[in-house]
């Protein structure tokens, strides 16, 4: 028995925020002092490093669970299944529903329960729960769904990654330009076909790394210090990712007994273009081979970093032919990979 993705869907908010929209922001250093660069210079440096030119924000009346529901409906329709036959709904996120203008996340009930409610599923045997695993949450949720199916505890699982990061960022922090909103969803089922998940690898590093991403006060010293925002030590995350993600990908591929030459695409968490490129190049260096052209599809340039939503959204966009010069074909070997808060990493080797 193999486990595969039988349907996918995504929701990309219609509100476009370009780098030029940050022209009048007052960016500050961590200690509250002014930055000695103009916003034009800040934006250019930001684009050069991250590759992000624009991002999407949820509309004012939308929450994370709303976007997740839209993506879920598309995935259910794509898989052509009755939602009442779902055994699990696993929803990866980090901050819950954060209403526009609010300072508090809402996770009561869980977002997965909210999505089940929105889908009007009556079946009480459809178990709904949330996954908190940082940006690698969707990948980890797929790994869990596979485990449930292999153990005979499920036949069909709905796995969603959704986040509204635009509402937990400090507007005085340059890093706020990285984050975006969105949702991606997949249906995971068993199959007799020679395809699906071949192997996986996960890891959590906390001894020195736990707080590389954290909740901290605004860089504006006049703001309420008890109101917290997503913060990160970018250089430490970059070095951590380069040291650990390529090795996890290699171990995953070796466990699948797949040669590096067979890999057609690598769908990596859209965190930062330069970092993702460095990870992929380091991965191929482990095999003493050059990085193939076009191996790493990217959506970050227009969509930004929507955390758990980036990988399933990227997968869906490629499947639906919406990423230029990129495609996934039956029999292709692909790698899913991610890194994020925790610090967590994971990878899946997958045959289309």
Distance (Å) of CA 52 to CA 15, 19, 20, 252? 15, 8, 12, 29
Calpha distance 55→19 (Å, rounded) = 8
| Predicted pLDDT at 173 | 94
Give ∠ CA 106-108-111 in degrees, rounded to 5.
75
Name which residue leads in pLDDT, 36 or 282: 282
For residue 331, how many C-alpha atoms fall within 13 Å in the half-sphere facing its CB? 1
The torsion of the CA quartet 335, 339, 343, 349, rounded to 10 degrees, works out to -10
| Predicted pLDDT at 104 | 85
Average pLDDT over residues 238-242: 96
Q: At what angle do helices 310-319 and 64-79 cross, to 10 degrees?
A: 40
Q: Which has the closest alpha carbon to 136: 2, 270, 281, 232?
A: 270
Assign 25 a pLDDT band (cuts: 50, 70, 90). Answer: confident
Domains identified in the chain and CATH numbers: 2-192 (3.40.47.10), 197-351 (3.40.47.10)
Question: Before 343, cis peptide (omega within 30)?
Answer: yes
In which residue are the tokens 């507007």 written? 171
Is 126 in contact with 78 (CB distance < 8 Å)?
Answer: no
Q: Where are the beta strands (DSSP E) in 233-271?
A: 263-268
In which residue are the tokens 């599809």 written? 297
| Predicted pLDDT at 24 | 86
Q: List, for residues 322-343, the tens digit of each pLDDT value.
A: 999 999 999 999 999 999 999 9
Provide DSSP, 18-78: EGGGGTT---B-TTSPBPSS-HHHHHHHHHHHH--SEEEE--TT--HHHHHHHHHHHHHHH
> Is residue 1 predicted with pLDDT exceeding 90?
no
Collect contacts of 29-35 with beta carbons under 8 A, ≥24 apart: 29/219, 30/219, 31/219, 32/219, 32/220, 32/221, 35/174
Q: List, for residues 148-182, the tens digit of each pLDDT value.
A: 999 999 999 999 999 999 999 999 999 999 999 99
Instruction: Supply the DSSP symbol for 289.
Output: -
Is 334 in contact with 294 (CB distance < 8 Å)?
Answer: no
- Please tell me the pTM assigned to this model: 0.95
| Phi, then psi, of 273 in degrees rounded to 5 | -60, -45
Structure tokens at 61: 């009346």
Is 96 in contact with 105 (CB distance < 8 Å)?
Answer: yes
| Predicted pLDDT at 116 | 98
């Amino acid at each position: 028995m193999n486990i595969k993705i039988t349907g996918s869907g995504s929701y990309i908010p219609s509100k476009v925020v370009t780098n030029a929209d940050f022209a009048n922001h007052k960016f500050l250093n961590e200690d509250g002092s002014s930055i000695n660069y103009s916003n034009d210079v800040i934006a250019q440096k930001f684009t050069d490093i991250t590759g992000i030119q624009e991002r999407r924000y949820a509309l004012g009346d939308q929450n994370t669970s709303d976007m997740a529901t839209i993506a879920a409906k598309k995935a259910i329709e794509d898989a052509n299944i009755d939602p009442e036959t779902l055994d699990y709904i696993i929803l990866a996120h980090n901050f819950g529903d954060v209403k526009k203008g609010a300072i508090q996340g809402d996770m009561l009930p869980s977002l997965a329960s909210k999505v089940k409610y929105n889908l009007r599923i009556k079946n009480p045997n459809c178990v709904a729960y949330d996954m908190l695993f940082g940006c690698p949450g969707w990948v980890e949720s797929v790994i869990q769904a596979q485990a449930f199916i292999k153990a005979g505890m499920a036949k069909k699982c709905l796995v969603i990654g959704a986040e509204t990061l635009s509402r937990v960022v400090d507007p005085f922090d340059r890093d706020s330009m990285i984050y975006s909103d969105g949702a991606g969803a997949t249906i995971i089922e068993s199959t007799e076909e020679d395809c699906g998940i071949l192997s996986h690898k996960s890891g959590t590093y906390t001894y020195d790394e736990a707080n590389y991403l954290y909740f901290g006060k605004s860089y504006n010293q006049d703001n309420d210090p008890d109101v917290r925002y997503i913060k990160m030590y970018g250089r430490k995350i970059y070095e951590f990712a380069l040291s650990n993600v390529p090795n996890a990908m290699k171990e995953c591929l070796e466990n699948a007994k797949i040669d590096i030459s067979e890999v057609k695409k690598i769908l990596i968490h859209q965190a930062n273009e330069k970092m993702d490129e460095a990870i992929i190049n380091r991965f191929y260096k482990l095999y003493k081979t050059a990085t193939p052209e076009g191996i790493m599809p990217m959506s970050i340039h227009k969509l930004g970093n929507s955390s758990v939503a980036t990988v399933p959204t990227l997968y869906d966009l490629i499947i639906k032919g919406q990423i230029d010069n990129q495609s996934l074909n039956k029999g292709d070997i692909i790698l899913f990979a991610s890194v994020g808060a925790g610090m967590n990493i994971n990878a899946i080797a997958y045959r289309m």
